[in-house]
Structure 1
Amino acid sequence: MNFIKKVDDIPIRLKFVSVYMIFILIPMVIIYGVFFTRISKEVRLREETELSQSLDRVHKDLMFLSEGCLYIARDIAIDRSLNALLDYTYPFSSDYYAAYYNTLRDSIQRYQSVFNNVVKVSVFTNNPTMDPGAFFYPLDQAKDSLWFQEYKRYDKQSAFVGWVEENTLIQKKRNKQISLIRKMDEFNQYNTYEKYIKIDVNLIKIENILQKESLMTFLLVNQQGQILVTSDDAYLYNNSKELSVFDKGIYHGKNKVLTKTITIIDNQNWNIIGIGSTSRLSKRIQNYGILIFGLCLLSFLLSIIMIYIFSNSYNRRIHMLQKHMKKVEHSDFSLIRQDGGKDEIGYLMRSFNKMTHRINDLVNKVLYFELREKEHQLASVKAELNYLQSQMDPHFLFNTLNAILVVCNRKNYTDITEIIKYLSKTLRRLLVWDDVMVPIEDEINFTEMYLKIEKFRFQDKFDYTIELEDAVKHYKIPKMTIQPFVENACKHGIQASKDNGQVLVRIYGLGEQIVMVIQDNGVGMPTEKVAELLQDNSQGNIGINNVYKRLKLNYQDAFHMKIESALQLGTTVMIHLPNPDHNRASSEIEGGVVNG
């Protein structure tokens, strides 16, 4: 319990940092350290495996090359007809050349062309009846050569020899050679003369084999430790009369040296030495180390940033909540306007707002209950008086007009009689017109009676036009939708104009909409006046504002009203209503009718 109490006393940010250090940072460092050690071992093992596989591939390719040379030498040595021709004593040179062109040349040339790893195939013999040239040479000429002396050291029927010869193309230059030497003694009956086969191996082919593997530098070394071919010494020319000797100590420490023995002929073993740079392995391990360190650093930075963001989120909102709680202590019930989020603290802030709002409501209800009660009573009395007045005025006017109408009939005042009839019908319609939604045709008839009264009033200065499409006559709209705009056009537009007034009322169907247009050529009004017409606090526009509210209640956002006007250019009102056939569910809400 004491430990839990102490934990409760630690600030939230310090708790986050402690948890991060103990359970994230320290284990992360340990894990990354173990991971790097394991990766380093895996990289070293994989590197050694790759080097070993590379050495195996070189060994396989060199074995294939040497076996090809051995097959050629064996086939030539066991060719009975060739042995017979080489051991024959030719009485005349013409006999030799006939044998050469008919058989000897083609036999050797066939063997040389069958294997592209061979540069040249030569036969050396002490048969004095054979003229030297092309593929056949005197044996005495070869006995003093380096390759023949090297061959004699092996004291075997066949041997691969590495030797250095003078380069006849470049003065004072020597180049390395590898040749297969085999004595032709397969047939006892053809041993009159000594015969030796010399097959010169294509060094470029060997170098290509060694250079094909780029992981290591390869050397081909004979039994005496002499370097025959290297992968970084492409067809080397040098001044040395002997082959260089491989010194392993030169590569000690900085390189990894692998050796594989290649048995090219029985009891003749050469070595393939692969030298791999340890700096390459160190570089790979270093790259992995940098990558792991980068990941570790990135994880550290991201976790620090996230801890800062989380702790700051908690601290900021808790401090804000604490600040508003102090305000409540001083009877300030202002709400927390900032979004608190959806976590536990956000829920706590929303609950605090609800609690503060309810406390504020309770205080207001207790303090202002009596005042509001009196205001409601006064508003009720005013409403009753207005209702009685609205009932009294139309009946009184209607009875008075009937009395005037009787007098006008007696005196035969025809014009006055007609206008009083229209006025009387208008008042009667107002008294008995209880429907909320009326057909467009009834709305137009009521509007036309009003226009006829205005026509009598203005005489020749005023005229009007009504266009009603038959297809929309039966559609119902809120009553007193058109008349307030017409009345506004006459009272404020045409009355103030010196020119003859014109009012156009046009109603037609347009797709799924009904379009109503009320247009006049009166004095118009400025742009700022047009913007005020539909505002709740506008003065002198009660009728228009009332129409707008009732249309809004009936059609919500399915209708559109637009008023265009300019000084001395008249006013146009366009109302777009949804076609009732597509809006059967529109609500019928009765609105008050007050002419402006």
Structure 2
Amino acid sequence: MDVKEREIENYNISMNRVISDISSIIYGCVDISHSVSTDKYLYEMMDRQYKNDSEYYAAYHDLLRDKLNRYLPIYNDVKQIALYTTNDTIDSGGNYYYIDAQIRNSSWYREVHKLSNKVGLYTYLDKSSDGGGNYVQYISVLRRLTEFTSSSQGYEHVLKIDIDINKLYEIFYRERDYLDLFLVDPQDRVICSTGGRWEKDLSKGFTDFSSLYKSKENSNYLIRTFRSGNFLSGWKIIGVPSSNPVVNASGQSNIYIPCIIFAVTLISSMLIWIIVRSYNYRLKKLHKHMKGVENEKFELIEIARGKDEIGELVQSFNMMTSKINTLINDVYKLQLKKKDLEIQRVQAELNFLQSQVDPHFLFNTLNAVMAICVKNNYEDLTEVIKYLSKIFRRLISWKDDIVTVREEISFTEMYLKIEKFRFLEKFHYEIQVDEEILELKVPKMSIQTLVENACKYGIQSSDGVGIVKIHVRRKGDYLSVDVEDNGSGIEPDKLHDILDMLEKEDSAEKVGISNVYKRLKLYYGDEVEFYINSELNKGTVVHYGIDVSKQHEYAVSLH
């Protein structure tokens, strides 16, 4: 008796659940119809006489397009919302349609005029729009919109909301273990059922529910009706037990119980064996990989880790191994970076010196030449030799890779004075440096090398007076350096090759602009600004910018 009562209770719960879910879908559509019917602005747009298609499309694009579709994301059980009107200035499309002769002859439109209330639920069959000749079933909430229609125009407006019938099938399919369910309309037609067994051949029309069960002995089915007194009057949900589980459960329980006990015992034993085997396998893998860590083999354990304690241990081991690998790689890359930086620094010095000359021999030679110049009153040459001597002395004494702007500008100006002596009146230079940035740091020879490049490739090939301008200023957190010349400029193809060469990690060309760019990248990473602007016969500007607010971080990372 307890089994029978429990089965009946399950049937009732299933029926109540279905009636509640379907009512929620239908009344959701009714709520949409209420919202649309009270939208006075929508009535005004539908009653307006549009002069031409362009005027209507402008109104549609700006105002009408999302008026109806905005409900679809909220009510995902709705397939389409369409508004039909007798206003012939509205072009059919989107969610708005003109009521033409074909629509007037449709069964659903005729049903609208039979409604005793403003709202009704109607189901019908129609051929699909794909041209295949197949029939498609529709369940629609229909409503006449009369709240704000203009009496002067007299247009008729009808709202049609199509329910996604697949949502109803999903509800019935969910309850298939308990009942065969049928949605039946007031004419006793099967509109929707479990599995859709009675709606497969829609070309023959709907099936009457009474014809399905008139010859069956089992008429013990359950019926639930929707709330009476409204547009759902006469609609009902009928549930038919697919078998007689009450009798089977009570009559065969003595046979099933021993089988169930045996099955539970067998399954439990198998589960215990699988769990123990899984534990043993994963522990062996973990032990093997831990031995590998002792021999500096940091390999991950590639097995399904599981959700137990051993799985957590495997995950922790993999995380630890990954972090150790990452730290080792970071340290190795940092060492390579420091070595590459040292190579760049040495190559910058070698590029400027051009040869390996013994410094003491060079100083002695320069001093001897300067003594002769003083003796013979060669004042200009004396100054040049003095600057040249200072340049070489500065190169020998400079040990730091990073120097102040003051030191770099002083060194660069000595070089420019030598160039001035060389070109005389055909060469001028300008240096503009903000006073407050003189103690900020830049890579050694990062300005002088750009100036040398401007003199060598820009000024020498120019027929007029050559001018080199240096501008060093601060822009926010960035130190901006610009070296400009009025030389012959760089051809576009050659400039492209130069810029392309700068980005090549394995480029063998490690001098001049490339040298400066790569050293800046080594010190300041991807935050370096670097570009070259050049026009033929007008000149070239080389710019770089570095974030001086992080200079301390860069210095720490490179030591």
* Pair in the same fold by TM > 0.5: no
TM-score (structure 2 length as normaliser)? 0.43
Task: From the CA coordinates, give the structure whose radius of gyration is larger.
Answer: 1
TM-score (structure 1 length as normaliser)? 0.40
